[in-house]
Amino acid sequence: MINISENLENLSWIPRPRLLALRRLGIETTEDLLTHFPRRHEDRTEFPQFPREETDAPICLCGEVIKTSVRRFGGWKKIFEATLEQAQPNALSEPLVCRWFNLHYVQKMIATGQRIVVFGRPRLRGKRICMDHPEFEVIENDEEISIHFRRITPIYPATEGLSPRVLRGIVYRVLREFPDAGWQPIAPSTLVRGERSDAIRAIHFPESWEARDAAREHLVLSEFFAMQMLIASRRFESSARAGQAHCGPGALLERFLKALPFELTAAQRKVVSEIQRDLAANYPMNRLLQGDVGSGKTVVAISAMLLAVEAGYQAAFMAPTQILAEQHYEVLRRWLEPLGVHIALRTAARQEESGPLPLFARNENPGSARLQRAGDGILPSRTFLESESTSGAHYSPRRLPHFEKPWAIYAVTITTAHRRGLGPEARNIVLNAWRHFHNTRYELFAICVMPDHVQALFQPWPKNEASREETKFWSLAELMRSLKSFTARDINRAEEKVGPVWEKETFDRYIRSDRDLVEKFHYILRNPWDAGVAKQNEEYPWIWTAEDEMRASRSSSPQNAATSTLQACAPQRLPVPRDPQITVGTHALLYESVSFSNLGLAVIDEQHKFGVAQRARLTAREPAPDTLVMTATPIPRTLTMTIYGDLDVSTIDEMPGNRGKIVTAVRDTAKLGEVLSFLRTQLEKGRQLYVIYPLIDESDKLNVKAAAAEYELWRERLHPFGCELLHGRIPAPEKQQIMDRFRRGDTNALISTTVLEVGVDVANATMVLIENAERFGLAQLHQLRGRIGRGEHKSYCILLSSSQAKEASAKLAVLERTTNGFEVAEADWELRGPGDVLGTAQSGLPALKIGDLKRDVELMRRARAAAMSIFEMDARLELPENQRFRRLIVEQQGQSFSHVS
Ligand code: ADP
Ligand code: MG
């Protein structure tokens, strides 16, 4: 008898090479093996007659190989053909020709006289019926027939060194030897029918198609249930954080709504009242506001912020781009200053407050995001796990040097050049240089400058984060280069020497775990004493930690040499102003020393442009602020239930009534002339135009050049109407002026890149022309189209495309058909192949083994309801019957379930 977690190695009958192949699939135990589910099943109870026509659906056939041949074409390429004949051929039966191109191993596996089973689409090729690249299996002996044939047969994804048939044989035997009692149920019996053990057996070797379907349903529900338990635990964990009520009586909101030039739509009112309820409750709000582009989410966000402000709290409003943050700031000033609300803008490029008040004070409180000495037992708050991919982060593995990862904490050691030691003065220079970029290019946790090397622990920051459409990080290489050249120059000058100061190569690594971090931290702090550079009980002044600096800046107690030098170059603290009540900003809100003395509500606009971790970073403080995240990228419901499953969802499902229609048309580039003359008639009526270019990478000089060249072309084409060029590389203040001129109507057209993708709101702009539209994704095109149709005039979206490709035209046709974002999202989902589980990797949820987010919506809904109801009745999972679910959650998140004590 074997048990569920038995290592397969202990089953003496599996040969070693097979074990290794299984391990490559991540299969080590019997449970791993039996939950490696078939990809599909084949009905081999009876094989059909060989076809005489081609069919669209793939079919499964069995026959004898009567001939094989190899043909060459195009020089070295080969086609291997095997001709099959069906078991009892009759006068009408046609042979089937199976062909494989350039697959040498197939040729070695198939020989005349064998019986083989093939699966594929029969096609008519000339007069012959062919199957190209069918999946196949050779029937070796009749004993095996009972496992592999005469039944509904499971087909597993093949892998190197492990054919589906071998895998099937192993699964069959393990199932036979395996006692049913070994399986723990996952889902409650109210959710699933039957036993897990039966479902497992039936998914591999079903007695009938119905049994297979029932087994699949059981297993999918179990899988979804486990996932939803994890989501529910997160959800209950976050709502169990200490929160406060942040809701004023509503008089301020009332005044705001009265002054608005329009009435809220019913949908907007509904959402405002949902938020109001959450704000008034004393647990933290975690709400997602979904609403199509142009549905009026900003007004809802403002309403929520006013409720918090009236209750005496601060609100933060974070947007993904500088253009958008500036726009929000303008709107807020226009609408809220008359109400006496004090507003501030904070982007990397600009800091401003309404009213003559100084800038933000530095945060005096080390707060939650700060590092303490590891010895204190408190770790740096790592809101950014290395495994998280930050959405929109501007990097691709290929462009990064071998080790660089955004959001990783690095431990770096730089050694000095041969025979260059660092004297005390040089060490000061190095320490100050590193300190200099702290909080601008990276967050420095600890550094130690030794006589012959430097060790530092730090996390790179985004670069100019607000001035670009996408986040780009300081790369390790850039940081090292500038630090080294900066210090080398000064050290040489101070020591009146020439020549290299530093070694070319640095040893580095990124920190993989908290343990790693603590270890490295201790190591750095102990290094001078461990290395004998400093005596025990002697101070070593060239060690610095973020914590020291904070301590030093808070007390006037005697300090050591390092901290006093550091204090000298620390920024002057400004007198504390009356805090702004609403702070609008970009990522800068996260990284700069923005202080919120009593943040009550954080609103994140265009949430999909941020990572999950960034949301956590803004709201990681005690007591927890209420959080409202907004997105205009609708996603199919199954995904909402997973990616945003830990949030409450509000939806604005209605557009303001004063909207002109949007007409969308796909045009061939060759028709540009006609398009132009149409655009001109609209420009003459005073309307404005966006022309959008698909610049993939804005940092690419060539692309910028191309845009500039195109811009010249457009100036001629649109003459005498004025146009301007806008792209991500334009410095922020200038960008702002360009937007202002467009908003005022001084310019008629903007030639731009996707910097305009989100949020930009100019009601008089009624035309958008998108060049090379086929290069954009559907969701992105929908967003770009969302820039128009924001006023009462009829609007026009023209998608220029030269591509004849079928998928491209299917994609663009979707936009011609509908302006509804949810429909676009569903179509997008359909057009992307299966397996493209958009965004789930980013959500940190476990990968699915059997469930399909696309087809199993209903099962997901049921699983979710079951999980939620368990948590609603017993949030701490204390009831005896709920004990077993704890294990489920702990296993999935790979760490202890902190909420359950
Ligand atoms: P989005 O949901 O895409 O962020 P915005 O909040 O930018 O949309 O709103 C788009 C435009 O619609 C703004 O100019 C806004 O002032 C206007 N608007 C919002 N709500 C209404 C309404 N109820 N009636 C008329 N116009 C509205
Ligand atoms: Mg918006």
The reply to whether ligand 1 has any atom less than 6 angstroms from the CB of 299 is yes
Share of the chain above pLDDT 70, in %: 80
Count CB-CB contacts under 10 A for residue 551: 16
Summary count for the chain: helices (H), strands (E): 27, 30
The reply to whether ligand 1 has any atom less than 6 angstroms from the CB of 291 is yes
Nearest CA to ligand 1 atom 10: 294
The torsion angle over the Cα atoms of residues 716, 717, 723 and 727, rounded to 10 degrees, is: -100
- The band of 613, judged by pLDDT with boundaries at 50, 70 and 90, is low
Ligand whose nearest atom lies closest to the CA of 607: 2
Q: Which residue has the higher pLDDT, 205 or 548?
A: 205
Contacts for 543 with CB less than 8 Å, ≥ 6 apart: 446, 447, 448, 449, 524, 525, 527, 528, 562
- The band of 884, judged by pLDDT with boundaries at 50, 70 and 90, is confident
Count CB-CB contacts under 10 A for residue 250: 17
Ligand whose nearest atom lies closest to the CA of 743: 1
Report for 154-163, 216-225, 647-656: range of highest mean pLDDT: 216-225
Lowest pLDDT segment from 136-140, 352-356, 527-531, 614-618 = 352-356
Rounded to the nearest whole angstrom, what is the distance from the C-alpha of residue 533 to the centroid of ligand 2? 58
Work out whether strand 599-604 and strand 77-86 pair parallel, antiparallel, or are unpaired.
unpaired
Report for 104-113, 523-532, 578-587, 671-680: range of highest mean pLDDT: 671-680
pLDDT in tens, 697-756: 555 666 666 777 788 888 999 988 999 988 877 777 788 889 999 999 999 999 988 777
The reply to whether ligand 1 has any atom less than 6 angstroms from the CB of 658 is yes
Does residue 341 register a pLDDT over 50? yes
Say if CB 634 and CB 821 are below 8 A apart.
Answer: yes
- The band of 2, judged by pLDDT with boundaries at 50, 70 and 90, is low
Mean pLDDT of 495-499: 84
Does residue 269 register a pLDDT over 70? yes
The reply to whether ligand 1 has any atom less than 6 angstroms from the CB of 303 is no
Work out whether strand 662-668 and strand 688-692 pair parallel, antiparallel, or are unpaired.
unpaired
Nearest CA to ligand 1 atom 9: 296
Closest listed residue to residue 49, CA positions, set 87, 83, 105: 87
Rounded to the nearest whole angstrom, what is the distance from the C-alpha of residue 289 to the centroid of ligand 1? 14
> Which neighbouring-strand residues pair with 691?
751, 769
Lowest pLDDT segment from 167-176, 617-626, 775-784, 814-823 = 617-626
Does residue 457 register a pLDDT over 90? no
Atom of ligand 1 nearest to the CA of 652: 2
Does residue 563 register a pLDDT over 50? no
Q: Which residue has the higher pLDDT, 198 or 383?
A: 198
Rounded to the nearest whole angstrom, what is the distance from the C-alpha of residue 666 to the centroid of ligand 2? 26
Round to whole Å and give the CA distance between 631 and 834. Answer: 24
Nearest CA to ligand 1 atom 15: 296
Question: What type of residue is 452?
Answer: D
pLDDT in tens, 344-392: 998 776 667 653 222 222 223 333 222 222 222 223 333 333 333 333 3
Mean pLDDT of 483-499: 87
Q: Which residue has the higher pLDDT, 305 or 610?
A: 305
Rounded to the nearest whole angstrom, what is the distance from the C-alpha of residue 318 to the centroid of ligand 2? 11
pLDDT in tens, 9-56: 888 889 988 998 898 888 999 988 999 999 899 887 778 889 988 888
- The 3-class SS string of 754-823 reads HHHCCCCCCCCEEEEEECCHHHCCHHHHHHHHCCCCCCCCCEEEEEEECCCCHHHHHHHHHHHHCCCHHH
Rounded to the nearest whole angstrom, what is the distance from the C-alpha of residue 595 to the centroid of ligand 2? 25
The reply to whether ligand 1 has any atom less than 6 angstroms from the CB of 293 is yes
Ligand whose nearest atom lies closest to the CA of 790: 1
Rounded to the nearest whole angstrom, what is the distance from the C-alpha of residue 759 to the centroid of ligand 2? 4
The reply to whether ligand 1 has any atom less than 6 angstroms from the CB of 264 is yes
The reply to whether ligand 1 has any atom less than 6 angstroms from the CB of 783 is no
Mean pLDDT of 172-184: 79
Say if CB 473 and CB 406 are below 8 A apart.
Answer: yes
Kindly give the residue spans of alpha helices, DSSP state H, lying in 260-313: 266-280, 297-310
- If residue 66 lies in a helix (H) or strand (E), which one and from where to where? strand 59-73
- The band of 557, judged by pLDDT with boundaries at 50, 70 and 90, is very low
Read off the pTM. 0.62
Ligand whose nearest atom lies closest to the CA of 299: 1
Ligand whose nearest atom lies closest to the CA of 294: 1
Residue 386: per-residue pLDDT: 30
Residue 266: per-residue pLDDT: 96
Mean pLDDT of 104-130: 89
The reply to whether ligand 1 has any atom less than 6 angstroms from the CB of 632 is yes
Residue 387: per-residue pLDDT: 31
Select from 265, 299, 785, 822 the residue to mutate for testing ligand 1; criterion: most ligand atoms less than 8 Å from CB: 299
> Which neighbouring-strand residues pair with 344?
353, 583
Nearest CA to ligand 1 atom 12: 296
Ligand whose nearest atom lies closest to the CA of 606: 2
Mean pLDDT of the chain: 79
Lowest pLDDT segment from 22-26, 565-569, 593-597 = 565-569
Select from 305, 329, 761 the residue to mutate for testing ligand 1; criterion: most ligand atoms less than 8 Å from CB: 761
Q: What b-and-e string marks burial along 359-383, b requiring 16 or more CB atoms within 10 Å of the CB?
A: ebbbbeeeeebbbbbbeeeeebebb
Residue 82: per-residue pLDDT: 95
Share of the chain above pLDDT 90, in %: 28
Rg (C-alpha) for the chain, rounded Å, is: 32
- The band of 164, judged by pLDDT with boundaries at 50, 70 and 90, is confident
